[in-house]
Amino acid sequence: MKLLFLGDVVGKGGREAVKQLMPELRRRYNAQFAVVNGENSAAGAGLTGGCVRELAAAAEVITSGDHVWDQKGFEQEIAMFPNVLRPANLSKLQPGRGWGVFRNPAGGEVAVINLLGKVFMRESAYCPFETVERILNDELPKHVRTILVDFHAEATSEKIAMAHFLDGRVTAVFGTHTHVRTADARVLPGGTAALSDAGMCGAEVSVLGREVESVLKKFRSGMPVRLPVVEKGNIRVDGAVVTYDPATGRAAAIEGFSEVVAVGNTI
């Protein structure tokens, strides 16, 4: 079987591109189950119920990261969406859940775990290594063999370390957050597919999905500058597909991809 994973969706343009391209990606790769990181889907920061409904038409599960609560009111809305995850290593007092077991339309179940990194990230997050260890050992049903981890982290070293830590225990570890797809897709010795960063679903001509001139002004001046999301034109859709054995949960192959979709008349 095959799993699809897409990197951080940025703004309305990213959402539109995912909706347009996902049916073709599923056909091309014969992928039965898809996960997208919706971290930046609402105007470039956070999620809303409307954004979730759009993305849910394309993917079975939507993950997030450090911007999960950026949109006012989503802390109430998240309870309406069992297919949306927030990082598992945030405080248990926060709404939502950090992992879940989901039905694969092709048969069987897939567990998805969402984690937040510590290096150069929010200090309020608990240790992701201890958190995932607890989930795997004490909480996740033992019969579930197919396990996908979205590790939303800044440092490549932390993401690589997590992949090795989970090698042989999960099907795949995808890094997100940097919006730049890395070239290190591989299957580790224990049978876990790994990719340090899946990239983004955002404007091809941009700086991480934001308007180039505004970002340059901010870097050059050092002053606060509004950074508009580029919502139309050529939108790049980055991600990866993993081939795995559902009986064992072991990955056999991983292939990264980057496609461009023309999106017009978006606001």
Identify the structural domains of the chain with CATH numbers, from first to last. 2-201+236-258 (3.60.21.10)
Q: How many CB atoms lie within 10 A of CB 141?
A: 8
* Segment 161-216, tens digit of pLDDT: 999 999 999 999 999 999 999 999 999 999 999 999 999 999 999 999 999 999 99
Residue 181 and residue 158 in contact, taking contact as beta carbons nearer than 8 Å: no
Torsion of CA 95, 98, 99, 104, to 10 degrees: 70
124 pLDDT band, cuts 50/70/90, is: confident
In angstroms, the CA 69 to CA 165 distance is: 28
| Cα 150-7-159 angle, rounded to 5 deg | 45
* Segment 36-67, tens digit of pLDDT: 999 999 999 999 999 999 999 999 999 999 99
Look at the block and give the residue holding tokens 């993917």. 59
pLDDT value, residue 267: 41
* One-letter identity of residue 163: A
Residues noted as catalytic = 67
| Long-range CB contact pairs, 69-76, < 8 A, 24+ | 69/94, 70/42, 70/45, 70/46, 71/42, 71/45, 71/46, 71/47, 73/48, 74/46, 74/47, 74/48, 74/49
Instruction: Give the mean model confidence (pLDDT) for residues 127-144.
Output: 97
